[in-house]
Structure 1
Amino acid sequence: MKKNAKELFRGVHTFIFDVDGVFTDSTLLITSEGELLRKMNVRDGYAVKIALGCGYRICIISGGSNEGVAKRLGALGVTDIFLGTDDKLSVLKSYTKKHSLDAAGILYMGDDIPDIPAMEAAGMVCCPQDSVPEVKAISDYISHINGGEGCVRDIIEQVLKVNGNWQQHFNAAHD
């Protein structure tokens, strides 16, 4: 019998996220110089910092290679950032082997076809509300929030709440 999302949230120790369509919406702004601009939700960033502070691993695997994305995520404390990746599954396998991680504790959030092979290798599969149908079909949990609008926060907050880390962090911040 398949476990429900709340049960799967309990075993998560590592979050793996795609960027475009997850941390950002599907819109790309292009400057006259050809630079691609993306927007990110600050609440997603806050949740990332909390998760890292609670000892969770966060890894970024993206086909995009925007240096601004790497700088933003690095400023939040994310050190495992793989950009310009054509084969996300190989990166995921290498990452889990390097850190001796069990797949059951890995939550992967993606939104489009290139994410599917890596998503299928994770213990829990999540996606934003506006993901493509093929990704929704394999997801254990579909956020009620679109990519770039706080879906990362939704997933992190739910995992931390189920594991008692969200309220613990909130209480510590107000002591």
Structure 2
Amino acid sequence: MVTEPQAALAIRLLALDVDGVLSDGRVTYASDGSELKSFNIKDGLGIKLLQRCGIRVAIITGRRSDMVARRATELGIADLYEGREDKLSALQELGEHLGLTLSECAYMGDDLPDLGAICAAGIGMTVSDAVPEVRAAADWCSRAPGGAGAVREAAEWLLQARGQWDDLLTEFR
């Protein structure tokens, strides 16, 4: 696990999986066939704080969902890669598109399709309820499970490690 803050200084992008990271991983279908998904408001603020401090946030997800596109728009996330089971190739494409090396990217996922991206990223991040193989490979793991503030924890850790957290706090006082 990462304990040295120096790695966070290089990060310019945090890419996030959705199911199991931004949400709790459950998919609920209503009787009319529509899909329901819940997102944590604290995670949303964490994303906004990262953006305010110059860290771009992207979403890479294996599924396609109108709710994810809506949430990305609400949060000002322009880089939305949907229907991408190969998370590593999506992260590589995203990095190339933005002119970033993988060492400048952090990736947060929870399951086996995320493993390659977690291993290749400058900082591989995961949630407390990730599968054991992902937890073992990650550099950093949240205390919270996916969908319950884990992304907020990751944002706070990155901003604290970069020395930006205290300045942000003063904006809210």
Residues 85-164 of structure 1 correspond to what in structure 2 (within 5 A)? 85-164=84-163
Quote the Cα distance in structure 2 between the aligned partners of 1:115 and 1:157: 22
Residues 1-175 of structure 1 correspond to what in structure 2 (within 5 A)? 4-174=3-173
- How far the C-alpha of 1:105 sits from its partner, in A, is 2.0
Q: Is the 8 A contact 1:111 1:135 kept in 2?
A: yes
Instruction: Name structure 2 gaps, 5 residues minimum.
Output: none
Instruction: Name structure 1 gaps, 5 residues minimum.
Output: none
Residues 3 and 46 (structure 1 numbering): CA distance in 2 closer, same or farther, change over 3 Å?
Answer: closer
**AA partner of residue 148 (structure 2):** E
Quote the Cα distance in structure 2 between the aligned partners of 1:67 and 1:113: 24
Q: Which whole-Å deviations, capped at 9, do the CAs of 1:67-100 have from their partners, x for residues lacking one?
A: 1111112111111111111222221111111211
**AA partner of residue 32 (structure 2):** E
- How far the C-alpha of 1:41 sits from its partner, in A, is 0.6
Considering only aligned residues, what root-mean-square deviation do their CA atoms show, in Å?
1.5
Quote the Cα distance in structure 2 between the aligned partners of 1:136 and 1:20: 16
For the residue of structure 2 that corresponds to 1:144, the secondary structure is: coil
- How far the C-alpha of 1:102 sits from its partner, in A, is 1.9
Quote the Cα distance in structure 2 between the aligned partners of 1:94 and 1:69: 20
After TM superposition, which residue ranges in structure 1, 4 or more long, deviate above 4 angstroms? none
- How far the C-alpha of 1:167 sits from its partner, in A, is 1.7
Quote the Cα distance in structure 2 between the aligned partners of 1:37 and 1:79: 22
Residues 6 and 148 (structure 1 numbering): CA distance in 2 closer, same or farther, change over 3 Å?
Answer: same
Quote the Cα distance in structure 1 between the aligned partners of 2:35 and 2:4: 35
* Fraction of identical pairs, as percent: 35
For the residue of structure 1 that corresponds to 2:67, the secondary structure is: helix
**AA partner of residue 104 (structure 2):** G
Tell me the TM-score normalized by structure 1.
Answer: 0.92
**AA partner of residue 163 (structure 1):** R
Q: Is the 8 A contact 1:104 1:122 kept in 2?
A: yes
Q: Is the 8 A contact 1:5 1:141 kept in 2?
A: no
- How far the C-alpha of 1:3 sits from its partner, in A, is 5.8
Quote the Cα distance in structure 2 between the aligned partners of 1:6 and 1:107: 13
The size of the alignment, in residue pairs, is: 173
